[in-house]
């Protein structure tokens, strides 16, 4: 019953957005939210599916370095570098790449900072879900996304 109500609510949001903006947005229900309590979406990068945490608290988007090596992705290197720090006081310098990808039917481009942070690997042992990175606030700002945490929906 809850899923039916959430689906109806998502359809209502889409109808309002179409009327307001005149184009059809892409709506994503956060995947497996009931199992992890951590919102994530799956994106398509050159035919490879990547699970990405929705993290509005992080200013940049990140990809786990081993994930891109395994998938042999094509990307543009960027001159940008950043010093990343997480739960530990140590910070690590990370290089940046630019990748085009599909999120639903929409093709977007995003800068991803490469990391080998063990937090992504811990998802597999904790939740039996492979996490490949996160979409940070830079992605949401540049693509005019809306996040409805109450209804577990990302609107692109």
Segment 53-89, tens digit of pLDDT: 888 888 889 888 887 776 677 677 767 666 666 545 5
Which residues are registered as beta bridge partners of 133? 52, 63
The answer to whether position 17 is within a domain reads no
The band of 25, judged by pLDDT with boundaries at 50, 70 and 90, is low
Task: Quickly count: other Cβ atoms within 10 Å of residue 125's Cβ.
Answer: 8
Q: What is the CA 48 to chain-centroid distance, rounded?
A: 14
Compute the distance between CA of residue 27 and CA of residue 25 in angstroms, rounded to an integer.
Answer: 6
Question: Does residue 4 surpass a pLDDT of 50?
Answer: no
The answer to whether position 4 is within a domain reads no
Q: What is the CA 83 to chain-centroid distance, rounded?
A: 20
- Model pTM? 0.72
The answer to whether position 16 is within a domain reads no
The answer to whether position 11 is within a domain reads no
The total of structural domains in the chain comes to 1
Q: Please state the rounded mean pLDDT for residues 134-147.
A: 89
Determine the structural domain holding residue 52 and report its residue range. 25-155
The answer to whether position 126 is within a domain reads yes
The band of 1, judged by pLDDT with boundaries at 50, 70 and 90, is low
∠ Cα 114 109 147 (to 5°): 90
The answer to whether position 151 is within a domain reads yes
The answer to whether position 9 is within a domain reads no
CB-CB contact of 155 with 145 (8 Å) = yes
The band of 135, judged by pLDDT with boundaries at 50, 70 and 90, is very high
CA-closest candidate to residue 7, choices 151, 147, 154: 151
CATH of the domain at 85: 2.40.70.10
The answer to whether position 3 is within a domain reads no
CA-closest candidate to residue 62, choices 50, 73, 71, 72: 50
pLDDT of res. 139: 92
């Amino acid at each position: 019953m809850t899923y039916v109500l959430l689906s109806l609510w998502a359809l209502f949001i889409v109808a309002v957005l179409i009327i307001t903006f005149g184009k059809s947005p892409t709506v994503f229900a956060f995947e497996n939210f009931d199992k992890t309590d951590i919102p994530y979406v799956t994106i398509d990068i050159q035919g490879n599916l990547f699970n990405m945490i929705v993290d509005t608290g992080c200013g940049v988007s990140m990809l786990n370095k081993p994930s891109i090596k395994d998938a042999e992705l094509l990307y543009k290197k960027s001159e940008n570098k950043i010093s990343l720090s997480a739960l530990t006081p140590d910070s690590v310098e990370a290089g940046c790449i630019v990748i085009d990808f599909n999120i639903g039917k929409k093709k977007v481009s995003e800068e991803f900072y490469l990391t080998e942070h063990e937090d992504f690997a811990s998802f597999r042992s904790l939740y039996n879900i492979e996490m490949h990175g996160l979409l940070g606030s830079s992605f949401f700002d540049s693509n005019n996304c809306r996040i409805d945490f109450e209804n577990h929906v990302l609107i692109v």
